A = this chain, B = another copy of it.
Amino acid sequence: MPNMSDDRQDYPKHYCGVFGIWGNPDAASLTYYGLFALQHRGQESAGIVTCDETKEFHTYRGMGLVSQVFSGDVLSRLKGDMAIGHTRYSTTGSSEMSNAQPLTVDFYKGRVAIAHNGNLTNASRLRWELEQNGSIFQTTVDSEIILHLLAQPIDSESREQTNLISALRKIEGAFSLVLMTGDALIGVRDPQGFRPLSLAKVGDGWALSSETCAFDLIQAEYVRDIEPGEVIIIDKKGPRSFKLYNEPQREAFCIFEHVYFARPDSQIGGRSVYNTRVEMGRQLAREFPIDADIVVPIPDSGNCAALGYCLESGIPYEMAFVRNHYVGRSFLQPSQLIRDFNVRVKLNLVKDLVRGKRVIMSTIQLSGAPPAKPTSIT
């Protein structure tokens, strides 16, 4: 058996965005806007798969931002009342078209598409076992493993979701999924609930999204969060749910969603991310009161916490860093010309505001984990 470490799996892909629509004639457009609202969760690639009334699937994926990948022409070709979409986080290593999602395959029961936010901790072992049994792999994304498991024939087919349950019980780790078959839109959140996934009503149909800010944009009505370990199947009979495991699992929501990754206008667990961050800033002021003249946030991740610190401490808030809204990945790097350029180009200091003052700066310190360009925007 080969090395089981997941070194081929790149760490920060955990932060993708997933979205799905059931029962709306503008499924592709709504998914486009949904992905647009989830753009902060992944800027490397974007993709949409739709399913029309003849159960034909229509796919379009590309490298880059949602607004770069899709045109009006493309969206008009993505016909159907059902759609799922994905935005992928940017990484250096495996930035390839073949890893763009959603992934669509044919198997013995028909066609299925999948979009995945998270990472499987037992991916290497599962892949090795599947290969031993004759499976071939065309990508390095975990979604392909899930699809292979889903395609395994099982003895009893008494219930519709048996293949799915069988597959999902084999995987471990973080897996907020949306899947689409010819008949149904399916949402899955792993038993620990590492990544968020929410449900909304949009007209007579339904939407699933990594974050609720996507519902706001398309004027969908937020219903509830998908629960850890829940599988929700939405088809013409309406939504119905079951749990992957009967016994309760340890929950383990990822703190980075609250402090860093989610948009402040999203709600997670019924609470706005904005308020959570402000409250953290307040708590910081209570735990670590500092005598200072001003509090300066590093935009945008530090904005809310800085505000909370100010509200609690009474120290004035000063937005001394001005952010350049045009920084993007196509930006040319100066070789030796300019010191500290990467910081400077994104943020410029209003020097008047800080000269001679005692300053508290507020930012997110990601100790260890995803160090890569987290503030990269375009």
- Residues of A in contact with B (beta carbons under 8 Å apart): 26, 29-30, 32-33, 36-37, 39-40, 59, 65-68, 70-72, 75, 96-98, 103-108, 131-138, 147-148, 151-153, 213, 216-219, 263-265, 267, 272, 274-275, 300, 303-304, 307, 310-311, 316-320, 322, 324-326, 328, 330-332, 334, 337-339, 344-345, 348-350, 352-353, 377-378
Task: Take A68-B330, A338-B217 as given contacts and tell me if A153 and B138 are in contact as well, using a CB distance cutoff of 8 Å.
Answer: no
B325 close to A40 (CB less than 8 A): yes
A67 close to B325 (CB less than 8 A): no
Q: Which residues of B contact A303 (CB under 8 A)?
A: 319
- Give chain B nearest CB distance to A340 CB in angstroms: 9
A339 close to B219 (CB less than 8 A): yes
8 A-B contacts (beta carbon < 8 Å): A29-B337, A33-B334, A36-B324, A107-B137, A219-B339, A263-B348, A264-B322, A274-B350
B272 close to A352 (CB less than 8 A): yes
In the bound complex, how far is the Cα of B238 from the Cα of A59, in angstroms?
44
Task: Take A132-B108, A332-B32 as given contacts and tell me if A348 and B138 are in contact as well, using a CB distance cutoff of 8 Å.
Answer: no
Q: Which residues of B contact A352 (CB under 8 A)?
A: 267, 272, 274-275
Of chain B, the residue at the smallest CB distance from A274 is: B350
- Give chain B nearest CB distance to A70 CB in angstroms: 7
In the bound complex, how far is the Cα of B59 from the Cα of A369, in angstroms?
30
Of chain B, the residue at the smallest CB distance from A340 is: B219
Task: Take A151-B135, A264-B350 as given contacts and tell me if A338 and B219 are in contact as well, using a CB distance cutoff of 8 Å.
Answer: yes
In the bound complex, how far is the Cα of B71 from the Cα of A51, in angstroms?
31
Q: Which residues of B contact A71 (CB under 8 A)?
A: 332
Of chain B, the residue at the smallest CB distance from A218 is: B338
Task: Take A136-B148, A311-B316, A348-B265 as given contacts and tell me if A325 and B377 are in contact as well, using a CB distance cutoff of 8 Å.
Answer: yes
